[in-house]
């Protein structure tokens, strides 16, 4: 997996480069989805239309995302995908973009949905500021949560896949893998990992486990 940002013409200056130079301007695609978010759940929507829901984050960590899906029971394709989020510009835009990606061309299957990566969403957005990437692209997590919810509701318990990675912070749904990625990105202190992932910001009780993992990955990769 690579975090190298795609170079879309005209958007280069909008995204933070990998050398930590900071940028606060979003790409035109991000702006389009931010100012005109698509597929968010209308206020008086009929929730009984949906047969799966998913949730990730909490307002304490700065982002909360809930998703509602309508899945075709025969094809297991996503017919409709609605969302609500408490989040910043890139949280809104990435969720809006993800909602388009999972429903376009007749909708992707639940199996495909499971493999949607934050990088895929980011690529379609033409990049995001480096330091916003880990914390604001939550949609893939909420999507997997909803996929499991669909199988749970349809009694297909054998198809439920618990995260291959262990969730360390149940509030932010940050996994051991997220922490591994952060350490590989050069975050080798708790503060630095928190900056990238927001782990434990709304839930201090997981911090000892986080620190232990940082030590483990630091030794594993950097000796």
Partner 1 sequence: MPEIYLDHAATTPLDPHVLEAMLPYLQEEFGNPSSFHTKGKRAADAIKQARETIATHLGARPDELIFTSSATEANNLAILGYARAHKHLGNHIITTSLEHHAVLETIMRLQKKEGFDVTYIKPNAQGLVDPQDVKNALHENTIFVSVMYVNNEIGTIQPIAEIGNIIHAFKQEKQISHLVFHTDACQAAGYLDMHVEKLHVDILTFNGSKIYGPKGIGLLYAKRGIKLEPLMFGGPQEKALRPGTEHVAGIIGLAKAFEMVQATKAKETIRLAALRDTLIQGILTTIPKTRLNGDAKNRLCNNVNISFMDIEGEALLLYLDAASVFASTGSACTSASLEPSHVILSLGLPYEVAHGSLRFTLGHSTTESDIDYVLATLPPLVEKLRSISPVSVDEKYFTSV
For partner 1, give the closer residue by CB, 77 or 132: 132
Interface map 108-127 toward partner 1 (x if CB under 8 A): --------------------
For partner 1, give the closer residue by CB, 77 or 198: 198
Instruction: Indicate whether 172 belongs to the interface with partner 1 (CB under 8 A).
Output: no
Query: Helix (H, G, I), strand (E, B), or coil: what is residue 78?
Result: strand
User: What angle do helix axes 176-184 and 190-197 make, rounded to 10 degrees?
Assistant: 110
Catalytic-labelled residue, pool 88, 135, 139, 206: 135
Give the phi and the psi of residue 71 in degrees, each rounded to 5.
Answer: -110, 135
For partner 1, give the closer residue by CB, 112 or 190: 190
Instruction: Indicate whether 45 belongs to the interface with partner 1 (CB under 8 A).
Output: no
Close Cβ partners of 106 (under 8 Å, ≥ 6 residues apart) = 77
Per the annotation, the verdict on 61 as an active-site residue is yes
Written as six digits, the tokens of 184 are 């590989």
Written as six digits, the tokens of 162 are 């618990």
> From start to end of 75-200, where are the E strands?
78-86, 167-169, 174-175
d(CA 111, CA 24): 35
| Choices 102-110, 117-125, 152-160, 198-206; region in contact with partner 1 by CB under 8 A | 198-206
For partner 1, give the closer residue by CB, 76 or 129: 129
Among 5, 15, 33, 34, which residue sits at the site for partner 1 (rule: CB under 8 A)? Answer: 34
Among 136, 172, 175, 203, which residue sits at the site for partner 1 (rule: CB under 8 A)? Answer: 136
Interior CA angle at 170 toward 67 and 121, to 5°? Answer: 45
Instruction: Indicate whether 84 belongs to the interface with partner 1 (CB under 8 A).
Output: yes
Per the annotation, the verdict on 139 as an active-site residue is no
| Choices 30-38, 117-125, 155-163, 212-220; region in contact with partner 1 by CB under 8 A | 30-38
Instruction: Indicate whether 221 belongs to the interface with partner 1 (CB under 8 A).
Output: no
Close Cβ partners of 136 (under 8 Å, ≥ 6 residues apart) = 63, 87, 88, 90, 91, 94, 128
Which helix (H) or strand (E) segment holds residue 177: the answer is: helix 176-184
**Residue numbers at the binding site for partner 1 (CB under 8 A):** 22, 24, 34-35, 37, 40-43, 59-66, 83-89, 91-92, 131-132, 135-136, 191, 194-195, 198, 201-202
Catalytic residue annotation = 61, 135
């Amino acid at each position: 997996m690579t975090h190298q940002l795609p170079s879309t013409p005209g958007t280069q200056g909008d995204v933070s480069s990998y050398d930590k130079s900071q940028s606060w301007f979003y790409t035109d695609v991000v702006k389009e989805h931010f100012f005109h978010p698509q597929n968010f759940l209308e206020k008086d929507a009929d929730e009984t239309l949906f047969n799966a829901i998913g949730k990730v984050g909490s307002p304490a960590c700065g982002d909360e995302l809930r998703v509602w899906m309508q899945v075709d029971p025969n094809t297991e394709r996503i017919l409709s995908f609605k969302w609500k989020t408490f989040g910043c510009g890139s949280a809104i835009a990435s969720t809006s973009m993800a909602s388009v990606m999972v429903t376009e061309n007749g909708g992707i299957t639940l199996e495909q949905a499971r493999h949607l990566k934050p990088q895929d969403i980011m690529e379609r957005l033409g990049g995001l500021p480096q330091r916003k990437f880990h914390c604001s692209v939550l949609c893939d997590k909420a999507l997997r949560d909803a996929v499991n919810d669909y199988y749970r509701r349809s009694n297909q318990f054998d198809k439920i896949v618990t995260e291959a990675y262990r969730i360390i912070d149940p509030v932010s749904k940050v996994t051991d893998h997220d922490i591994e990625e952060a350490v590989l990105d050069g975050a080798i202190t708790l503060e630095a990992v928190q900056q990238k992932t927001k782990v434990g910001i709304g839930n201090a009780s997981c911090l000892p486990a986080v620190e232990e993992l940082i030590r483990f990955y630091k030794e594993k990769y950097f000796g």
